[in-house]
Structure 1
Amino acid sequence: MTELDERDTAARPGAARARVVFLVRVPVERTEAFLAAYEAVRHLVADGVPGHRVDQVCRSATDPEQWLITSEWASLADFEAWERSPEHRDLVRPMRECFTDARSLRFHVHAQTPALP
């Protein structure tokens, strides 16, 4: 267990880190609007949403309309509190308007390889 993992466990007994995954389809002509909306969301979330640790946006190597958005949270409860907030709905609306399809998956982090030095 890393020092960061130990701090998370000590601060939140019984809480497990969580990974949230969104698989979305964005028409090629909406790509620019989608990425601009993602940029607005990621900076605001990274600067102050409790429990948020990191996120990524990834584009499929074989399908230019398929995207993957992942985020890691100190706990699933932290993500769910953020997702239920009015601020969340307002902030992500421009991004969601670019989707033609979306699927959400939620996971508790069970194990992790050590970070590289």
Structure 2
Amino acid sequence: MTKVTQEEIAHFRSQLADYPSALQALQVLEDCEGDLEDAAIALAIRAGQQPEIANSDWLGILARKCRSLICRRELRDDLLNGNFAEIVPYLATSNLCPDLLATPVMMYVMRQGANDFCHPLDPLL
């Protein structure tokens, strides 16, 4: 279980205040008492997805599917500096990640560490 703090939620909320889907995702995360995986499953169901609940790394698998978008060179500085205001909407408009799941995916990446998460793609970029 990945627990997200109120401070982390507030950080995302301040950056994504103009993005309704992100605010909705953050509210669900608060309702789930900061449990990132539980919130992501609830949001996936709302988005019409059928997450593999038995797979404890379901959110990680989704994040890795989006890795090529998240770790793009032009987004890397924002990612490393914790600036998600451009990355979350960009990810949400892709066909890889449902709008409601873009924020939990970015929180997962933040928790993994941007460099560690993006490292497998570094030789390709």
Q: What is the TM-score when the length of structure 2 is the normalising length? A: 0.29
Greater helix share, structure number = 2
Could you say which structure has the greater relative contact order, defined with CA pairs below 8 angstroms and 6 or more residues apart?
Answer: 1
